[in-house]
Amino acid sequence: MQPRHPDSLGPSFIGAFRRRCGRGVDRLAGMTKWEYFTVPLLVHATKEILDNVGEEGWELVCVVPGPTPESLVAYLKREKEE
């Protein structure tokens, strides 16, 4: 699921958000936007996999258990290109 900028949620959401949070929502336009990627990690090739995605600009966020006890899944992010 892609993160959504508040402006994409419609005028009623923006109005309620501004009333509740003040004008700070306007700062969101200048914030860094990220894209995210998940990749299964093979235990015997973890370093190679992470080195390869790192070369493409991906930064490791966390590693969590995968669908089977012996598997892992890496969550990565990189700055989104405009």
The per-residue pLDDT for range 2-41, each reduced to its tens digit, is 555 555 556 676 666 666 665 555 566 678 999 999 999 9
E strands, the chain, are 34-41, 59-65, 72-79
Burial class (CB in 10 A: 0-12, 13-18, 19+), 35: middle
> Measured between alpha carbons, how far is 78 from 55 in angstroms, rounded to an integer?
11
Better-predicted residue by pLDDT, 51 or 68:
51
Per-residue pLDDT averaged across 54-72, rounded? 94
Q: Where in the chain is the domain with CATH 3.30.70?
A: 32-82
pLDDT of residue 21: 61
pTM of the predicted protein model? 0.62
CATH topology of domain 32-82: Alpha-Beta Plaits (3.30.70)
